[in-house]
Amino acid sequence: MLPNVDPAPHRHFLIHKPYGCLSQFVTQFSGEAKKTMLGQFYDFPAGTMSIGRLDADSEGLLLLTTDGKVSEHIRSRKIEKEYYAQVDGLIDDEALARMQAGVEIGIHNEKYQTSPCRAFRLDPAPGFAPRSKKIRDDRHGPTSWVSITLTEGKFRQVRKMTAAVGFPTLRLVRVRVGSLHLGALQVGEVMEVAGFEG
């Protein structure tokens, strides 16, 4: 009879996902072959998965885990996700109020009404390092930053919300998931943590 062996404990990580990096470890389509993947930043253990992907154009806090049950909890509507968006133009109170109340966006060719959220201007702007791909020049007009906190996570939702109120997103950085903050984590830096709390 084989002795009982405790399974290896689950491991959990935070990464500051860079612009242009896919939130995955292997290519799924032929066009992804030259893309940057998460495994290029750290020797993650087998079975590590990202929780709540960020698209290639988005940056910031990404959680990774070997525990699928934790992944389900974090992706639920119980957990807040906060984003800082740099938008085209000087966002006004009317646009913020519309996003706070919920706006209509398109999801997979269907209309979707977003849930109420928190949204406010960031002044001064957050001090992020310049993005690897330059944002357009100031000569094309002013930009502003807004904080948006959601409990839902539809495909490219923040970008669609700011566009719906007339202020397209130029740069998007996720800064918080639940009680976990991006903090001083540098672009591409990985930190192992004991676990994720809601």
User: What's the rounded Cα separation, in Å, for the pair 58 and 170?
Assistant: 10
CATH number of domain containing 61: 3.30.70.580
Residues 51 and 90 in one domain: no
Say if 6 falls within a structural domain: no
Residues 109 and 165 in one domain: yes
Instruction: Determine the pLDDT at residue 30.
Output: 58
* pLDDT at position 2 over 70: no
What is the tally of helices (H) and strands (E) in the chain?
A: 3, 11
55 carries an active-site annotation: yes
The number of domains in the chain is 2
Torsional class of 25: left (φ above 0), alpha (ψ -120 to 50), beta (otherwise):
alpha
Residues 104 and 144 in one domain: yes
pLDDT-derived band at 7, boundaries 50, 70, 90: low
pLDDT tens for each residue of 131-175: 888 887 767 889 999 999 999 888 899 999 999 999 999 999 999
Residues 101 and 164 in one domain: yes
**Percent of the chain scored above 90 by pLDDT?**
66
Q: For the purposes of burial, counting CB atoms within 10 Å of the CB of 134, is it exposed (0-12), middle (13-18) or buried (19 or more)?
A: exposed
Residues 170 and 86 in one domain: yes
Residues 153 and 117 in one domain: yes
CATH number of domain containing 92: 3.30.70.1560
**Average pLDDT of the residues in 61-68:** 92
Active-site pick, 55, 92, 93, 137: 55
Say if 4 falls within a structural domain: no
Share the mean pLDDT of the chain.
Answer: 89
126, 64 contact by CB (below 8 A): no
Say if 198 falls within a structural domain: no
Say if 1 falls within a structural domain: no
Residues 37 and 94 in one domain: no
Range of the domain at 126: 81-177
Residues 17 and 69 in one domain: yes
| Cis geometry, peptide bond prior to residue 45 (ω within 30 degrees of 0) | no
Residue among 118, 15, 10 at smallest CA distance from 69: 10
Instruction: Please state which of the ranges 40-44, 75-79, 84-88 shows the lowest mean pLDDT.
Output: 75-79
Q: What is the pTM of this model?
A: 0.90
Say if 150 falls within a structural domain: yes
